[in-house]
Amino acid sequence: MSSIREKAINTIAWTKDNKLKIAHKSTKVVKIIFRTLFLVGMGFVMLYPILFMISQSFMSIGDVKNQAVIWVPAEFSIRPIQMAITSLDLGSTIPRSLYMTIPSVILQVLTCMLTAYGFARYRFPGSKVLFGLLIFQIIVPISTLTVPLYALLSQMGLLGKYYLFWIMSVLGNGIRSALYIFMLRQFFKQIPKELEEAARIDGCGHFGTFLRIMIPNVIPGIVTIATFSTVWYWNDYYYSKMFVPVTGQETLSVKLDQITTLFTSQQSFFTSYYGISQAEIRIMMENVVSAACLIAIAPMVILYIILQRQLTESIEKTGLVG
């Protein structure tokens, strides 16, 4: 009887164990399916505008008229891109954007590195107050600082000149400089102080320690803020429109805002050059706008793809530091 009872108990235990395993596997499968559906859905929401722009940028006039064509063009055409390039006047617009962006980014990164290192490693009278003001600058909307900044730049005679962005970057008042300083400070704080002490014992001064010890250890952070800075300067419309209100000196972001007007002003040229009617030109409006947007974001998308690994690594490190 005891053996029969033991077998029955073992059978019941085995059945319960199997049921638990099956339930656990079922729960795991449901979680995987839900996670996959969620990621695919979110990915589609984020990629939809880009996919739409790509599709619209390569459609011919026949595809635009054909209601059966929605995503994949029946006849691939680069005419919308050609019209967008002409409307944006990329031959002069791109150099102006680079002229503003590249020096501003370099100067901003250098200034932010020095300032962040000072906040991370040195204690001086008023350092906490200055850091509090830095945090306050991150929180305060940019629009609240526009009027005093505009008045100051006007008094200095810098309005209408793109090198004013260089000056702002050097003085630590570039676009999002406060945020970059905070991010780099987090990187510097996670480096052990023993490395600096060892370097100073070996004869390194403050500046030598900064260059030889600190900078190599925060390369991911530098890459991150340089990328963010490039994106913000490249896409900047607010400051560019406000401080350089000169016709014919617009950057790509400002031109992009005017693409509808610019395209309309070129209708006569497009009609004679491409041999199509003005009605067909107007039909192409949405495609040209999509092509212009695609041209504007393409450099930043390529930059992100190249630096994706460094960006991911730096964001993870920044989030772990208290």
Same domain, yes or no: 97 and 60? no
**What pLDDT, on the 0 to 100 scale, is given for residue 191?**
84
Q: Please, how many CA atoms are within 13 Å of residue 131, restricted to the half-sphere of its CB?
A: 17
Mean per-residue pLDDT for 213-225? 87
102 part of a folded domain: yes
More confident residue, 86 or 143: 86
- Asked whether the predicted pLDDT for residue 111 surpasses 90, the reply is yes
**What pLDDT, on the 0 to 100 scale, is given for residue 322?**
38
Tell me how crowded residue 230 is: count the other CB atoms within 10 A of its CB.
20
Tell me how crowded residue 248 is: count the other CB atoms within 10 A of its CB.
7
Tokens encoding 118:
């000072």
Same domain, yes or no: 161 and 30? no
Q: Confirm if 87 and 245 have CB atoms less than 8 A apart.
A: no
- Reported as a single tens digit per residue, the pLDDT across 7-35 is 555 555 556 556 556 666 777 777 888 88
Same domain, yes or no: 51 and 96? no
Same domain, yes or no: 108 and 229? yes
**What pLDDT, on the 0 to 100 scale, is given for residue 320?**
41
Band of residue 318 on the pLDDT scale cut at 50, 70, 90: low
Cα(140)–Cα(180) distance, rounded to whole angstroms?
Answer: 15
Same domain, yes or no: 215 and 134? yes
**What pLDDT, on the 0 to 100 scale, is given for residue 278?**
80
Tokens encoding 245:
């209100």
Cα(4)–Cα(10) distance, rounded to whole angstroms?
Answer: 10
Q: Which of 4-18, 136-150, 155-169, 274-288 has the highest mean pLDDT?
A: 155-169
174 part of a folded domain: yes
Contacts of 258 (CB under 8 A, 6+ apart): 250
**What pLDDT, on the 0 to 100 scale, is given for residue 186?**
86
219 part of a folded domain: yes
Same domain, yes or no: 61 and 93? no
- Reported as a single tens digit per residue, the pLDDT across 250-306 is 899 999 888 888 888 888 888 888 777 888 888 888 888 999 999 999 999 888 888
80 part of a folded domain: no
Task: Provide the domain limits for residue 61.
Answer: 2-65
The Cα diameter of the chain in Å comes to 104
**Number of folded domains in the chain?**
2
- Asked whether the predicted pLDDT for residue 63 surpasses 50, the reply is yes
Spell 2-23 as b/e; 16+ CB within 10 A means b. Answer: eeeeeeeeeeeeeeeeeeeeee
More confident residue, 313 or 211: 211
**What pLDDT, on the 0 to 100 scale, is given for residue 321?**
42
- Asked whether the predicted pLDDT for residue 163 surpasses 50, the reply is yes
Same domain, yes or no: 54 and 96? no
Cα(321)–Cα(187) distance, rounded to whole angstroms?
Answer: 8
Mean per-residue pLDDT for 92-112? 93
